[in-house]
Amino acid sequence: MSTSRLEAFSDGVLAVAITLLVLDIKVPSVGGHDDLGRELARNWPHYAAYVTSFLTIGIIWINHHAMIGRLLQADHMILFLNLLLLLSIALLPFATSLMAAYLKQSHGQNLAAAIYSGTFLLMAVLFSILNRHILLRKPQLLTSELSEQHRRQILARSITGLAPYAIATALAAVSAYATLAICAALAVFYALPVASGGDQRGE
Amino acid sequence: MSTSRLEAFSDGVLAVAITLLVLDIKVPSVGGHDDLGRELARNWPHYAAYVTSFLTIGIIWINHHAMIGRLLQADHMILFLNLLLLLSIALLPFATSLMAAYLKQSHGQNLAAAIYSGTFLLMAVLFSILNRHILLRKPQLLTSELSEQHRRQILARSITGLAPYAIATALAAVSAYATLAICAALAVFYALPVASGGDQRGE
Amino acid sequence: MSTSRLEAFSDGVLAVAITLLVLDIKVPSVGGHDDLGRELARNWPHYAAYVTSFLTIGIIWINHHAMIGRLLQADHMILFLNLLLLLSIALLPFATSLMAAYLKQSHGQNLAAAIYSGTFLLMAVLFSILNRHILLRKPQLLTSELSEQHRRQILARSITGLAPYAIATALAAVSAYATLAICAALAVFYALPVASGGDQRGE
Amino acid sequence: MSTSRLEAFSDGVLAVAITLLVLDIKVPSVGGHDDLGRELARNWPHYAAYVTSFLTIGIIWINHHAMIGRLLQADHMILFLNLLLLLSIALLPFATSLMAAYLKQSHGQNLAAAIYSGTFLLMAVLFSILNRHILLRKPQLLTSELSEQHRRQILARSITGLAPYAIATALAAVSAYATLAICAALAVFYALPVASGGDQRGE
């Protein structure tokens, strides 16, 4: 299969998932003597989780493009692994809602944070597995010949990117705020052009 | 009509439908002494139905691509049958919600399972009708000449794929769990690269 | 502006609108001694309105493709009229919900039907205005030279297509069921390949 | 990165965001002696905000196309700034809902209007920053050579377009109706072909 329709479908899922995130930001219904400003401010976990998830999907989109751009053709294994990756990304609107809803609650905040960060970790793991299949198992499908050393470098960066999400997920047992802070910091760090020059997470 | 915009529109509908599935996974609202983990675990039918439907739409997308990829041009009948196929696919977020909501209920679980599996069966039937029209009625629209024997083989595989869904739908009268299990097993089986090599369901 | 991104954006809006229609089909919540089958059957206006709106958007997509396919380039007026057309199409999920919710109610059913059919009429009017602009005012933007007679024929068919929707909208004052029946019949008639050969509504 | 997938992803997000706006127009539930017509009429802020936001996203799409159309390639800074622009656009369904829900309320209407207009202002600012980066910092990425004077002219128009949104946002402290009226007038003015000839806002 040519990669153009694979890209079009993946872009579609990513574009819908990233735009559905906004459905979690609800308009507060404010009674007579409540204050809209205070209600909106109280919802800050929803905005923080929105920006974090939005930037993270954006980074995945950039890295996905780079990964697929190296391919001439896709075999069935690539389609299958890509589908699993999309499945994990499409879960993000749920994980983001869960995180935002429980961040400030006394019960459940640790579990919600672990699921939120765990979804990012799952995405990063599936991304690395797909990347590994492409770079090590199917070099003949690549558009340009890359030395094995170069391919292993790209993959090593991809796998190194898993560590911070593993740490953030583990830290959820201690503090949901710490987990969100790490995920947000990672999103900003990877999205910022300075951190990269083509060296974004997952590549 | 050229097939490129037909593919683009179909990809769009499939991408939106597959991503809307997540809207059925609701964030549970947990009271004072309830446990978020237990509430989330109790919702397992939603996750099972989500993964099953997601993989099934993914398989349809792969097979749809193969089917349309054989075409040089689309006539009005192809557009019409494709529209009916998309209509059945776009129903999946509803059928998935229904299945997940009633799987564990004493009333309605058999009907919900029959509708869920029946939607898959409808999709597979419409896929086979469209495939039959392309392969047997309009061979002159194909990109490469295929022998009639080869075309009949592709179609036979497509029609053979209907049987498991018909069985799953019939079994819904006995056990909704059996229906979901069959649909899930089919989704995993067809999605796995081993089962295929281009021989996926519907082709 | 080249027409390819105009087509891509229009396809995107059409694909999202057509797929969002399913959100109106709600999973019924059934109490102890209610029957899921009866509840689902009671919701038939939602299924009828769903199929009608789905097929109608599908027909618009086909005609839209034919209309834009005649264009080499789009001027600003075409972008503006196309945006208004998309605005009316994007309203359909609301109009469809309204129609389905009020069809069986004693109060409001006539108004709901008038708004439903009126949205289709608005879409058809905007389609004709856009088609008129392309065919009569900007023939220099067409890909192939069409005689003025031929262009006027295409346009006449487009305008003739308005009449049934005007009648359906007027009939809403008498019977909401009649309005839905006409809209459904038009959707099936225009979608069926027999009625056409490139002569679909709006062309 | 080539600009084609950047355009495809941006188009996807814009198409989903513009179509999700309709989810804010709710079907009113009318009791025994209420009147559907009166209920629908009472919801006019939702229709006004819908049309305003729809046209504004449409204008952004046109201008975005013109901006990216000048590019041969995208660097990482362009991807990053474009992602921030999409983030602000994807917030519009929320801001539109908020505006429509509070326009007629005694409490909160000024804040809601400020957030609504402020989201437009944010979009326009991010658009100008991205345009500035492309025109002044990366002229070597442009498809055709533009004189520095011409590039500064395009950018000046883009920055001039910020003023009305800044005024509308400031006026929200006085009257939410005035803010909506200005935003609506700007949307119609910029969408109308007369106002432009390629000179739309943001260019």
Given a cut of 60, is residue B195 above it in pLDDT? Answer: no
Residues 6+ apart with CB under 8 A from C102: C108, C109, C111, C112, C113, C176, D36
Taking residues A33-54, report their average pLDDT. 93
User: If you count residue pairs, one on A and one on D, with CB atoms under 8 Å apart, how many are there?
Assistant: 90
For residue D75, give the 3-state DSSP assignment.
coil
Distance CA A77, CA A71 (A): 13
Q: Which of residues C154 and A59 earns the better pLDDT score?
A: A59
Distance CA B198, CA B200 (A): 6
* A54 vs D: CB within 8 A: yes
Copy the structure tokens of residue D20. 């999700």
Q: CA-based Rg of chain D, rounded to a whole angstrom?
A: 18
Residues 6+ apart with CB under 8 A from C164: C182, C186
Question: pLDDT for B133-164, tens place per residue?
Answer: 998 887 787 877 778 888 888 888 888 889 99
Cβ distance of B87 and C55 shorter than 8 Å: yes
pLDDT of the residue at B144: 77
List the single residue in A12, A76, A105 with the smallest CB-CB distance to B193.
Answer: A76
Q: Residue D142: beta bridge partners?
A: D71
Q: CA-based Rg of chain A, rounded to a whole angstrom?
A: 18
Cβ distance of B23 and C23 shorter than 8 Å: yes
**Chain C partners of D54 at a C-beta cutoff of 8 Å?**
83, 87, 90
Weakest mean pLDDT among C39-43, C72-76, C177-181: C72-76
Question: pLDDT for C59-111, tens place per residue?
Answer: 999 999 888 988 888 888 999 999 999 999 999 999 999 999 999 988 899 99
Share of chain D above pLDDT 90, in %: 65
pLDDT of the residue at C196: 46
Read off the amino acid at residue B100: A
* B104 vs A: CB within 8 A: no
Interface test mutation site (partner A, options B5, B33, B36, max chain A beta carbons within 10 A)? B36
- Closest by CA position to C32, among listed B108, A178, D145: B108
Residue C113: band (very low, low, confident or very high) from pLDDT cuts 50, 70, 90: very high
Cβ distance of D76 and A196 shorter than 8 Å: yes
Distance CA A50, CA D87 (A): 9
pLDDT of the residue at A107: 86
- Given 3-state DSSP classes, what are the helix, strand and coil percentages for chain B, each rounded to the nearest 5? 75, 0, 20
**Chain A partners of B61 at a C-beta cutoff of 8 Å?**
9
Question: pLDDT for B45-75, tens place per residue?
Answer: 999 999 999 999 999 999 998 899 888 888 8
**Chain A partners of D86 at a C-beta cutoff of 8 Å?**
18, 58
Given a cut of 50, is residue A199 above it in pLDDT? Answer: no
For residue B142, give the 3-state DSSP assignment.
strand
**What are the boundaries of each domain within chain B?**
3-195
pLDDT of the residue at B197: 42
CA A104 to chain centre: 23
List the single residue in B23, B27, B58 with the smallest CB-CB distance to A83.
Answer: B58
The whole-chain average pLDDT of chain D stands at 89
**Chain A partners of B21 at a C-beta cutoff of 8 Å?**
90
Chain B, nearest residue to C64 by Cα? B5
Alpha-carbon gap: D46 to the closest alpha carbon of chain A (Å): 13
* D22 vs C: CB within 8 A: yes
Cβ distance of D9 and A61 shorter than 8 Å: yes
Taking residues A67-84, report their average pLDDT. 91
For residue B6, give the 3-state DSSP assignment.
helix
Cβ distance of B111 and C11 shorter than 8 Å: no
* B62 vs A: CB within 8 A: yes
Taking residues A81-91, report their average pLDDT. 97
Cβ distance of B1 and C65 shorter than 8 Å: yes
* B51 vs C: CB within 8 A: no
The whole-chain average pLDDT of chain C stands at 89
The whole-chain average pLDDT of chain A stands at 89
| Sign, CA torsion C76/C79/C84/C87 | negative
Cβ distance of B19 and A90 shorter than 8 Å: yes
Residues 6+ apart with CB under 8 A from C106: none
Given a cut of 80, is residue A89 above it in pLDDT? Answer: yes
Alpha-carbon gap: C45 to the closest alpha carbon of chain D (Å): 15
Alpha-carbon gap: D138 to the closest alpha carbon of chain C (Å): 23
Copy the structure tokens of residue D125. 């600012």
Chain A, nearest residue to B6 by Cα? A5
Phi/psi of residue B161, nearest 5 degrees? -65, -15
Residue D201: band (very low, low, confident or very high) from pLDDT cuts 50, 70, 90: very low
Chain A, nearest residue to D91 by Cα? A22
Question: pLDDT for A1-31, tens place per residue?
Answer: 788 889 999 999 999 999 999 999 999 988 7
Residue A126: band (very low, low, confident or very high) from pLDDT cuts 50, 70, 90: very high
**Chain B partners of A20 at a C-beta cutoff of 8 Å?**
19-20, 22-23
Phi/psi of residue D26, nearest 5 degrees? -90, 150
User: If you count residue pairs, one on C and one on D, with CB atoms under 8 Å apart, how many are there?
Assistant: 91
Cβ distance of A62 and D75 shorter than 8 Å: no
pLDDT of the residue at C171: 97
pLDDT of the residue at D154: 85
* B33 vs C: CB within 8 A: no
Question: pLDDT for C43-53, tens place per residue?
Answer: 999 999 999 99
Q: Which of residues B144 and B14 earns the better pLDDT score?
A: B14
* B156 vs C: CB within 8 A: no
Question: pLDDT for D146-190, tens place per residue?
Answer: 788 888 888 888 888 899 999 999 999 999 999 999 999 999 998
Distance CA D75, CA A185 (A): 22
**Block residue for tokens 């190296």:** A70
Distance CA B104, CA B46 (A): 11
Share of chain C above pLDDT 90, in %: 65
Interface test mutation site (partner A, options B3, B6, B27, B70, max chain A beta carbons within 10 A)? B27
* C9 vs B: CB within 8 A: no
Given a cut of 80, is residue B203 above it in pLDDT? Answer: no
Given a cut of 80, is residue D197 above it in pLDDT? Answer: no
**Block residue for tokens 């050229």:** B2
List the single residue in D8, D19, D66 with the smallest CB-CB distance to C90.
Answer: D19
Taking residues B111-117, report their average pLDDT. 97
pLDDT of the residue at B32: 66
For residue D72, give the 3-state DSSP assignment.
coil
Q: Chain C neighbours among B 74-93 (CB < 8 Å)?
A: 75-77, 79-80, 83, 86-87, 90-91, 93
List the single residue in A21, A193, A198 with the smallest CB-CB distance to D80.
Answer: A193
Taking residues C32-50, report their average pLDDT. 90
Given a cut of 60, is residue B196 above it in pLDDT? Answer: no
Given a cut of 50, is residue A201 above it in pLDDT? Answer: no
**Block residue for tokens 């558009």:** A143
pLDDT of the residue at B52: 97
Q: How many helices (DSSP H) and strands (DSSP E) are in chain B? A: 9, 0
Residue D203: band (very low, low, confident or very high) from pLDDT cuts 50, 70, 90: very low
pLDDT of the residue at D123: 96
pLDDT of the residue at D177: 97
Q: What is the dihedral of CA B64, C49, C79, B9, to 10 degrees?
A: 0
Residue A32: band (very low, low, confident or very high) from pLDDT cuts 50, 70, 90: low
List the single residue in A5, A94, A102 with the smallest CB-CB distance to B25.
Answer: A94
pTM of the model: 0.92
Q: Quote the ipTM score.
A: 0.90
Question: pLDDT for A128-138, tens place per residue?
Answer: 999 999 988 87
Chain C, nearest residue to B21 by Cα? C23
Q: Which of residues D199 and C187 earns the better pLDDT score?
A: C187
pLDDT of the residue at B202: 38
Q: Chain A neighbours among D 159-188 (CB < 8 Å)?
A: none
Q: Residue A73: beta bridge partners?
A: A2
Residue D70: band (very low, low, confident or very high) from pLDDT cuts 50, 70, 90: confident
pLDDT of the residue at C165: 96
**Chain B partners of A5 at a C-beta cutoff of 8 Å?**
7, 11, 65
Given a cut of 90, is residue D119 above it in pLDDT? Answer: yes
pLDDT of the residue at C194: 62
Distance CA C136, CA C149 (A): 11
Alpha-carbon gap: A194 to the closest alpha carbon of chain B (Å): 32
Alpha-carbon gap: A110 to the closest alpha carbon of chain D (Å): 27
pLDDT of the residue at C97: 97
pLDDT of the residue at A39: 92
Those chains having 3 or more beta-carbon pairs within 8 angstroms of chain B are A, C
Given a cut of 80, is residue A79 above it in pLDDT? Answer: yes
pLDDT of the residue at B142: 81
Share of chain B above pLDDT 70, in %: 94
Question: pLDDT for C12-25, tens place per residue?
Answer: 999 999 999 999 99
* D189 vs C: CB within 8 A: no
Cβ distance of A101 and B21 shorter than 8 Å: no
Angle at D165 between CA D163 and CA D166, to 5 degrees: 65
Q: CA-based Rg of chain C, rounded to a whole angstrom?
A: 19
Q: Residue C142: beta bridge partners?
A: C71
Taking residues D1-14, report their average pLDDT. 89
Cβ distance of B11 and A12 shorter than 8 Å: yes
pLDDT of the residue at D200: 40
Taking residues D55-79, report their average pLDDT. 91
pLDDT of the residue at B61: 94
Phi/psi of residue C2, nearest 5 degrees? -70, 160
Given a cut of 70, is residue B100 above it in pLDDT? Answer: yes
User: If you count residue pairs, one on A and one on B, with CB atoms under 8 Å apart, how many are there?
Assistant: 90
Those chains having 3 or more beta-carbon pairs within 8 angstroms of chain C are B, D
Taking residues D107-132, report their average pLDDT. 95
Distance CA A155, CA A132 (A): 6
Given a cut of 60, is residue B116 above it in pLDDT? Answer: yes
